[in-house]
Amino acid sequence: GDSVTQMEGPVTLSEEAFLTINCTYTATGYPSLFWYVQYPGEGLQLLLKATKADDKGSNKGFEATYRKETTSFHLEKGSVQVSDSAVYFCALSGDYGGATNKLIFGTGTLLAVQP
């Protein structure tokens, strides 16, 4: 079945460092890809998304490009801040035989940014 694989954390960086969180997927068809962020004690917030190959999603300085040839959707940010500390989830949504389009999540990657 469809699945998402994320790099294991935690990822610990100093403020202003470059961030990459790897995400690869396995899916039939052409899924949509997402990055969600979860701050401590809260639910998930959509960070960015891409719906087709070569699309780049971006938001709040974060970017991810839908790479069909490598089945990847790596999350990047050029300069992280302490406030970016959170758990980041990569997810995909495909056609599962109906209108449901449920999300399949990776295991999440904890990012800790130190001042």
Partner 1 sequence: GAVVSQHPSRVICKSGTSVKIECRSLDFQATTMFWYRQFPKQSLMLMATSNEGSKATYEQGVEKDKFLINHASLTLSTLTVTSAHPEDSSFYICSARGGTPSPQHFGDGTRLSIL
Dihedral angle sign, alpha carbons of residues 35, 63, 42, 24 = positive
Distance (Å, whole) CA 60 – CA 110: 18
Kindly identify the residues of this chain, within the stretch 19-78, that bind partner 1 according to CB under 8 A: 32, 34, 36, 41-46, 49, 51
Q: Distance between CA atoms of 77 and 95, rounded to whole angstroms? A: 30
Query: Judged by CB, which is closer to partner 1: 17, or 55?
Result: 55
Closest CB to partner 1 among 28 and 101? Answer: 101
Q: What is the dihedral of CA 39, 40, 42, 43, to 10 degrees?
A: 60
Size of the site for partner 1 (CB under 8 A): 22
Q: Which is nearer to partner 1, 15 or 42 (CB)?
A: 42
Minimum distance from CB of 54 to partner 1 (Å)?
18
